């Protein structure tokens, strides 16, 4: 009790301080520490059994791997009176990806597009058997109904990651995909992807650093031009929206706040084929003309090599850059590649019409990490937020049905009624191209007929649509406030 | 012109794209690059002459070192029709320090307390002869009227820092102070200070990581208690406000969003003497009782050693911690220590009644880095924002007067009329203690009589006072919005 004896309250004030019971217990807890030589800490060699199998009289446990659109929509829809939920992910929030490009230049703030899991499904923070674990899934033993995990301790070196197991009754794999580099050398080292909030933070910091450094005496004209050359590779919606945001930022904020270097900053968008290939020709023409008007240079080219200050195209052209953003699409993650299950075309986890992984009992896969098996006769769906969201919603109602019918526990749903299979109906695509202009394509497929719009009205639809889809009221409010302040005061340029 | 020949517009859309003159010039610029073997880059070996002395027919140049309260208030007040301003600082924003503690737990957002220099004094981003340079000052040659600088390129490895010189007509040193460790081993390595936005980011990230890791299976009870033990060293306003914010966060948000671990988290505030020693006894008693009620343990102790998972007090008590915040006051920075000028008591740059550095022509020092020389017979002023702000304001009007009288250029103000000396009148102190309670002490000194308040009314005064003092309307608006959303939705817990 050395600690307790040494606890002296601020002496002059002693008389007025009441030691309440809560503090007493804490004191006792602390005294417990000081008698130990050093607090025991979990190490990587330790393997903890974690959460064991649920008993028949306990609530069945659904383990969800991932925290993207699919996982979050699923967790939101799952009936927590039927199931305990355990979510395993290296990040504790969902990223509202369609608005991520806007955060890179400060149109929106980072936190306005990040939604904590605990706000999407409060049970993980409060219900006794439900949890969120900040960890990566490292293995799957389907016959034992167990996933192996390892904690994520990035940025902190006073604690060593440790491993643990979680037994599941139902497993939902919603790990998403990872940015593809097509095996091009130097992409991972030198380019920044645009898939997570920390990517957007990195882009914003680098852009502001380059803007400031290019204004310092001693820099050559060439180096200044290089530092302020922003290159975007990939002409899909992300690449186009980011280019549009960047040119808005240059035209409005750089001219005003970095007047000394405003003539040196340029944006180039490199795409091997056509930009926005999923949109109709008229919209693509409109996007091209809008981007060009905003000063974005559109270049058709294939990147061969990425070095630290320049990229090399297939025809040998060298393009110096100060900021390189890579958004050329996605491919399966290492964990998905390592899974020994039948795969869909493209290497995703193969699923049947009910989103089940057929070779494993009680395992489902949704979102970008999964694709219909060829045997289903259905095409692999595009890696879109709306596909993932729809699958999450479908699977939640499927598992709610099974849970109600008493099939929630492991191996109890073999003969269950699964209801109708998952059917995807494309609702249309949207993309903003900057300067209060956007494209809205409401056709169900590229060949189908339907409404397509471009211009200010689309931009207004785009903003309203997203504003109503951001999940919490808090973030809806912040997105609206961010848009308003950007309009009134311009974007924030502090580099923090 | 290899680059230009290879520039092929998205082919299907070629017809609709007009290559405007602005793009043409950019293309030419790029083609220039591709003929070079590699773009020349400035290296640390290169030394650039930077900005040379101003000519008599040019506007005189004021160089400001730093971007804190003193520097920013000075720049805001300086007449840009009389002077060019060059600001040199490693950060491009001012931190609104009194509200920084609130950002650590998400009551306020980081950007709400950071004000870009370009918004405080727009001339640095737009006027032809005024600049902001992201750099550190590395040396001062007072006889040549030159400062030596080196660029800051943190976080980016594709560009090497380079050195350059700036000639000044007037130099204002406002470099602030740095956190003191009192030579205690391990503080710099293991504790987090609370002086910059990146410190607050680090505290928030670590706190959320510890909260999440303590919920993962495999962690021992002791380790969980250690991870969630937040220790604050230093009972000044910063330490007290941070402890108050932390206990608010625990009582409101942790209980709701980290219900599994809510009984394991505790806050200890360690102070060698009395907390809030500059406030009157009644207010200190009130603060002590408020903090204790909120579950903050107040401990009188002197830290002897800081290890990675525990601190050791003078009497041998070991206190395990998961988060350690150090706010024990400030001392002179290495640059100030290296300056060979007469110093004030405490090692600050010695100044006379007009804030001049007497041994150097045209050099002034304001804020925490400066103190009255003993020969002035005045006491060294406390390291407070209000002192720095008042000095910045005074010096701006002093230099405006000199400039108007034609003494703006180097060595032209030797016989100028300096007007009245700087007189400091203390307006009072404020500190919040959490739970909508604050202290307001409006006495001019500890011995003087005057108004002192504690409680909800003070808290309301505290908030209103800060809200009107945050420099830009944008940030005033955001602080109000942040406070509102914290009240309605709770604090944001996404770890981004």
Q: Which residues of A touch B8 (CB under 8 A)?
A: 299-301
Residue A323 C-alpha, separation from nearest chain B C-alpha, in angstroms: 10
Q: Is the pLDDT of residue A327 over 70?
A: yes
Which pLDDT band holds residue A113 (cuts at 50, 70, 90)?
very high
Q: Is the pLDDT of residue B21 over 70?
A: no
pLDDT score recorded for residue B442: 84
Q: Are residues B445 and B306 in the same domain?
A: yes
User: What DSSP string describes A352-406?
Assistant: -TTSB-TTSTTEEE-GGGEEE-GGGTPPPPPS-HHHHHHHHHHHHHHHHHHHHTT
Judge whether A348 lies within some domain: yes
Residue finishing a domain among B404, B439, B455:
B404
Q: Is the pLDDT of residue B24 over 70?
A: no
Residue B411 C-alpha, separation from nearest chain A C-alpha, in angstroms: 25
Judge whether B484 lies within some domain: yes
Q: Are A36 and B292 a contacting pair at CB < 8 A?
A: no
Q: Is the pLDDT of residue B28 over 50?
A: no
3-state secondary structure (DSSP) of residue B38: coil
Q: Is the pLDDT of residue A207 over 60?
A: yes
Q: Is the pLDDT of residue B461 over 90?
A: no
Domains identified in chain B, total number: 3
The mean pLDDT of chain B is: 87
Q: Are residues B299 and B199 in the same domain?
A: yes
If you average pLDDT over residues A125-139, what whole number do you get?
A: 94
If you average pLDDT over residues B29-54, what whole number do you get?
A: 52
Q: Is the pLDDT of residue B263 over 80?
A: yes
Q: What is the pLDDT of residues A367-408, one digit of tens each?
A: 999 999 999 999 999 999 999 999 999 999 999 999 999 999
Q: Are residues A308 and A447 in the same domain?
A: yes
Judge whether B41 lies within some domain: no
Q: Are residues B62 and B153 in the same domain?
A: yes
* Least confident segment among A93-102, A291-300, B326-335, B415-424: B415-424
Q: Which residues of A touch B86 (CB under 8 A)?
A: none
Nearest to A33 by CA among B298, B310, B296, B295: B310
Residue A217 C-alpha, separation from nearest chain B C-alpha, in angstroms: 5
Q: Are residues A154 and A208 in the same domain?
A: no
A92 part of contact set with chain B, CB < 8 Å: yes
B134 part of contact set with chain A, CB < 8 Å: yes
Strand blocks (E) in B168-263: 170-173, 178-179, 229-233
Judge whether A16 lies within some domain: yes
pLDDT score recorded for residue A158: 76
Q: Are residues B170 and B60 in the same domain?
A: yes
Which pLDDT band holds residue B5 (cuts at 50, 70, 90)?
very low
| d(C-alpha A85, C-alpha B215), whole Å | 14
Q: Are residues B129 and B241 in the same domain?
A: no
Q: Are B220 and A42 a contacting pair at CB < 8 A?
A: yes
Q: Are A10 and B134 a contacting pair at CB < 8 A?
A: no
| d(C-alpha B30, C-alpha A45), whole Å | 54
Q: Are residues A28 and A51 in the same domain?
A: no
Q: Are residues B53 and B76 in the same domain?
A: yes
The torsion angles phi and psi of B182, rounded to 5 degrees, stand at 55, 30
Q: Are residues B364 and B222 in the same domain?
A: no
CA dihedral over A189, A192, A193, A199, signed as positive or negative: positive
Contact A135, B219 (CB under 8 A): no
Q: Which residues of A touch B116 (CB under 8 A)?
A: 257, 492-494
Supply the pTM of this predicted model: 0.89
User: What DSSP string describes B142-175?
Assistant: TTTTEEEEEE--TT--SS---EEEEE-SEEEE--
Q: Check which CATH number belongs to the domain holding A255 and give it.
A: 3.50.50.100
| d(C-alpha B268, C-alpha B228), whole Å | 11
Which pLDDT band holds residue A5 (cuts at 50, 70, 90)?
very low
pLDDT score recorded for residue B443: 82
Nearest to A285 among B16, B48, B259 (CB): B16
Residue A305 C-alpha, separation from nearest chain B C-alpha, in angstroms: 15
Nearest to A98 by CA among A85, A90, A107: A107
| d(C-alpha B496, C-alpha A205), whole Å | 14
What are the beta bridge partners of residue A147?
Answer: A140, A166
Nearest to A489 among B318, B474, B494 (CB): B474
Name which of A125, A167, A275 to mutate to probe chain B: the one with the most chain B Cβ atoms within 10 A of its Cβ: A125
Q: Is the pLDDT of residue B441 over 60?
A: yes
Q: Are residues B396 and B431 in the same domain?
A: no
Residue of A nearest to B126 (CA): A259
Nearest to B300 among A11, A114, A313 (CB): A11
Residue of A nearest to B212 (CA): A134
Q: What is the pLDDT of residues B472-487, one digit of tens each?
A: 889 989 988 998 999 8
If you average pLDDT over residues B105-133, what whole number do you get?
A: 93
pLDDT score recorded for residue A46: 57
Cβ within 8 Å of A, B 215-234 = 215-220, 222-223, 225-227, 229
Q: Are B225 and A166 a contacting pair at CB < 8 A?
A: no
Q: Is the pLDDT of residue B447 over 80?
A: no
Q: Is the pLDDT of residue B314 over 50?
A: yes
Judge whether A414 lies within some domain: no
* Structural domain span for residue A16: 2-34
Q: Is the pLDDT of residue B364 over 50?
A: yes
At how many degrees (to 10) do helices A473-489 and A456-469 cross?
Answer: 140
pLDDT score recorded for residue B47: 65
| Burial class of residue A27 (count of CB atoms within 10 Å of its CB; 0-12, 13-18, 19+) | middle
If you average pLDDT over residues A413-425, what whole number do you get?
A: 87
If you average pLDDT over residues A456-481, what whole number do you get?
A: 84
Cβ within 8 Å of B, A 162-191 = 162-164, 166, 190
Q: Which residues of B touch A154 (CB under 8 A)?
A: 209
The mean pLDDT of chain A is: 87
Q: What is the pLDDT of residues A22-56, one digit of tens each?
A: 333 333 334 434 333 333 344 444 567 789 999 99
Q: Are residues A382 and A474 in the same domain?
A: no
If you average pLDDT over residues B70-94, what whole number do you get?
A: 96
Q: What is the pLDDT of residues B387-423, one digit of tens each?
A: 999 999 999 999 999 999 999 999 998 877 888 999 9
Judge whether A39 lies within some domain: no
Q: Is the pLDDT of residue A336 over 70?
A: yes
Judge whether B234 lies within some domain: yes
Judge whether B133 lies within some domain: yes
Q: Which residues of B touch A34 (CB under 8 A)?
A: 317-319
Cβ within 8 Å of A, B 325-344 = none
Q: Is the pLDDT of residue B120 over 80?
A: yes
Give me the interface pTM, i.e. the ipTM: 0.88
pLDDT score recorded for residue A428: 84
């Amino acid at each position: 009790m050395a600690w307790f004896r040494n606890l002296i309250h601020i002496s002059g004030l002693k008389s007025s301080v009441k030691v309440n019971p809560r503090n007493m217990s804490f004191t006792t807890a602390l005294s417990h520490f000081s008698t130990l030589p050093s607090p025991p800490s979990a190490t990587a060699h330790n393997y903890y059994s974690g959460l064991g199998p649920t008993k028949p009289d306990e609530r069945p446990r659904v383990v969800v791997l991932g925290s993207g659109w699919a996982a979050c929509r699923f967790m939101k829809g799952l009936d927590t009176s039927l199931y305990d939920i355990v979510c395993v992910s290296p990040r504790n929030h969902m990223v509202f990806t369609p608005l991520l490009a806007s955060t890179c230049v400060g149109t929106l703030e980072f936190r306005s597009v990040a939604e904590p899991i605990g706000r999407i499904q409060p049970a993980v923070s409060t219900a006794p058997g439900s949890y969120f674990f900040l960890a990566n899934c490292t293995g799957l033993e389907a016959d034992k109904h167990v996933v192996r995990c390892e904690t994520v301790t990035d940025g902190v070196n006073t604690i060593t990651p440790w491993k643990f197991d979680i037994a599941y009754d139902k497993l939902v794999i919603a790990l998403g995909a990872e940015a593809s580099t097509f095996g091009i050398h130097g992409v991972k080292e030198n380019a920044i992807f645009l898939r997570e909030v920390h990517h957007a933070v990195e882009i914003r910091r680098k852009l502001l650093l380059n803007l400031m450094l290019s204004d310092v005496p001693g820099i050559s004209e060439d180096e200044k031009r290089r530092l302020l050359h922003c290159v975007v590779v990939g002409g899909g919606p992300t690449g186009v929206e980011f280019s549009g945001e960047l040119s808005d930022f240059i035209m409005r904020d750089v001219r005003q706040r970095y007047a000394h270097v405003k003539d040196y900053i340029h944006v180039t968008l490199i795409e091997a084929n056509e930009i926005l290939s999923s949109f109709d020709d008229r919209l693509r023409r409109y996007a091209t003309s809008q981007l060009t008007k905003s000063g974005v240079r559109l270049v058709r080219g294939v990147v061969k090599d990425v070095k630290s200050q320049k990229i090399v195209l297939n025809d040998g052209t060298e393009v110096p850059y100060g900021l390189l953003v890579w958004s050329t699409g996605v491919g399966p993650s290492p964990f998905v590649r390592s899974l020994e299950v039948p795969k869909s075309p493209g290497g995703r986890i193969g699923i049947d019409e009910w989103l089940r992984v057929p070779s494993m009992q009680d395992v489902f896969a949704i979102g970008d990490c999964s694709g219909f098996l060829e045997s289903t006769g259905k095409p692999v769906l595009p890696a879109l937020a709306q596909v993932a969201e729809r699958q999450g919603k479908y699977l939640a109602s499927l598992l709610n049905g099974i849970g109600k019918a008493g099939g929630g526990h492991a191996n109890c749903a073999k003969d269950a009624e699964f209801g109708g299979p998952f059917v995807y109906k494309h609702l249309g695509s949207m993309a903003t191209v900057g300067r209060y202009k956007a494209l809205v394509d409401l056709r169900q497929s590229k060949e189908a007929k339907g409404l397509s719009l471009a211009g200010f009205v689309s931009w207004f639809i785009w903003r309203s649509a997203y504003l109503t889809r951001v999940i919490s009221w808090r973030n809806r409010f912040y997105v609206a406030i961010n848009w308003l302040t950007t309009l009134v005061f311009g974007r924030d340029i502090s580099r923090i």
